[in-house]
Structure 1
């Protein structure tokens, strides 16, 4: 009888460990950090000047939908890895010259701090720490953002376009990670 109970416990332990990604940080902290990043992006919008919409630039900066589609069908850990890459790329992007944007420096610093803590927290949920997958198409989409920034001279209008696009991307990965939460 004791061996049956032990067998059932071992089976349940192995099954539950392999069936989904279990991470306390994600379950307890992700939503708060995500909300904080959206609040800070909204604060940045409130400090922005009115802009005219550049349809060509908007199309250029939009992330291809197939990347999210692929990520949404991926294994739980791959969803987290995809999200961490977006957060890392966002930090790199917002570390560029944004002096022409009408955002307060403190708000940008707070945003970068929240995104950094969010990436670190999610990174702690990845079991294969040594194996870092890097999505080249995702990286190239952020390179396009950098290219548009350079083309438009890092001006306030293009930074507002970038801010909107980053918010859109972060909302998509928020949905991606929320699908994994308990």
Structure 2
């Protein structure tokens, strides 16, 4: 009877937390490190200019206590929204002054990280990125605005790494329960 209970517990917990078994977790750290390196190398020193859009620290705090699957979706959607900032659809917005092969590599890494993780993002999260995009559009893609976007992106990538670390911790704890 105890064996069947353990088997049932294993299958139920595995079904309830598919994100913990996600192969993507094995590669995220590597891609994330390269993405951070590339965002640093895209331009000169990071700007000290204050962003007109406040950074959503509270949203990140809320996500740290969310279910693993919700955190994975949040990370995926954040990376997708970040890449959208660097691929302006508005023709009146000029490309960043540091548009190079590195920026293409940066976008490829962002896209690679988002592949495989689908779904929804909270409306507040989308609104933040929409405001950043409007900030860029208002200046026509001025170099100063692009530097601001680069700095905000670095802040997001660092916060996403913290979320990822909490997922890794959950995955390790889960494996410990099943051994």
TM-score norm. by structure 2 comes to 0.81
1:68-88 CA-partner distances (Å, limit 9, x unpaired): 121111111011111111111
The equivalent position to 1:72 in structure 2, one of 53, 61, 64, is: 64
Q: 1:32 to 1:156 in 2, by over 3 A?
A: same
Contact 2:47 2:147 in 1 (8 A): no
The equivalent position to 1:63 in structure 2, one of 15, 36, 55, is: 55
Q: 1:27 to 1:143 in 2, by over 3 A?
A: closer
Distance 2:134 2:145 in 1: 11
The equivalent residue for 1:150 is: 137
Distance 2:69 2:46 in 1: 39
Q: 1:82 to 1:161 in 2, by over 3 A?
A: same
Contact 2:19 2:72 in 1 (8 A): no
Unaligned runs of 5+ in 2: 173-179
4+ long deviations beyond 6 Å:
none
The equivalent residue for 1:93 is: 85
The equivalent residue for 1:30 is: 28
How many residues align? The count is 165
TM-score norm. by structure 1 comes to 0.80
Unaligned runs of 5+ in 1: 124-128
1:66-117 CA-partner distances (Å, limit 9, x unpaired): 2112111111101111111111111111001453x33142111111100000
Which stretch shifts more, 149-158 or 8-17? Answer: 8-17
The equivalent residue for 2:154 is: 167
